[in-house]
Amino acid sequence: MKPKGKTPRILVVDDEEEFQSLVAEHLRYEKYEVSLASDGLQGLDSARKNPPDLIIADLAMPNLDGIGMLKALRTDDRFCKIPVIVLSVMVEKNDKQRAFEAGAAAFLNKPCGIEELLDAIKACLRGDRPLASPIPKPGV
């Protein structure tokens, strides 16, 4: 949750430059501070240098995918509470489940509307998690 009076900083980690630019433009319009990274390794480095209030990450990226980045964040006490919204064109049940098991706060399918993303960001910054139910395991 963001401290009062502080502009929330959001780290967008995605290897698609066009998507990154579009999301960053909308977030800056909404008065968020935005940092960008092109893969999971850059995302981890950016988070370590200047911890964000929230991370938006793609699943499929070169060098280190979104799940790998999320798992690395969750093993470090400094970053284990930062909400991560996973965005992906992958809509396989196991991808969504893996994201939640790794500690995602929300999972949105790409492409999603900017309003849906902004609603998820606001909910995560308030501490409302998870924002979508993990898919139940067979037999549960």
Residues in the chain: 140
pLDDT at position 85: 94
Domain presence at residue 139 = no
pLDDT at position 132: 56
Domain presence at residue 135 = no
pLDDT at position 2: 47
Domain presence at residue 50 = yes
Domain presence at residue 3 = no
Per-residue pLDDT of the chain (140 residues; tens, 9 = 90+): 444 568 999 999 999 999 999 999 999 999 999 999 999 999 999 999 999 999 999 998 999 999 999 999 999 888 888 999 998 886 677 888 889 999 999 999 888 889 999 999 999 998 875 555 444 444 43
Domain presence at residue 133 = no
Domain presence at residue 106 = yes
Domain that holds residue 33: 9-126
Give me the number of domains the chain comprises: 1
pLDDT at position 138: 41
Domain presence at residue 80 = yes
pLDDT at position 91: 65
pLDDT at position 127: 83
Look up residue 126 and give its amino acid: R
CATH at residue 101: 3.40.50.2300
pTM for the model stands at 0.86
Query: Phi and psi (nearest 5°) for 107?
Result: -135, 120
Domain presence at residue 131 = no
